[in-house]
Amino acid sequence: MQSLSDLVKQRFERIIVENEMLRAGFAALPYIVLRDTKLSTGARLAYAILLMYAWQEGSCFPGQVRMANDMGTSERHLRRFLQELRDRGYISWRRTNTTNEYRILDVKTKLKREKSRP
């Protein structure tokens, strides 16, 4: 016989996704990035691509060729989009021996600054 706790978990910890497209995965884009009109559409998409890679396994090492292919753009455009994100304080990166290590930065301080502006 199942315990009450197990029955509650079965009832409330179950989410059934019927839409096959959603089961394949999706990226949730923070509103602050989505609404940042100083970012190009390409930069916003590049942010979503970085999130997609990061959430696949907690961390990963996508190359710029792969990211550009996933976005349907050139490496040159991708680098420009990544620079926009860095300039606006959303990401940072450092070069390693094989590929760049990207960091998706905590935007709490950015949110506070945005709210305090008149």
Q: What is the pLDDT of residue 87?
A: 95
In the chain, domain spans = 28-106
The pTM assigned to this predicted structure is: 0.72
The predicted structure's pLDDT at residue 113? 63
Please tell us whether the domain made up of 28-106 is placed in CATH 1.10.150.120.
no
Task: Compare 3 and 9 and report the one with higher pLDDT.
Answer: 3
pLDDT in tens, 10-36: 555 556 667 777 767 777 888 999 999
Model confidence at 7: pLDDT above 90 = no
- Of 93, 75, 96, nearest to 85 by C-alpha is 93
- pLDDT, mean over the chain: 81
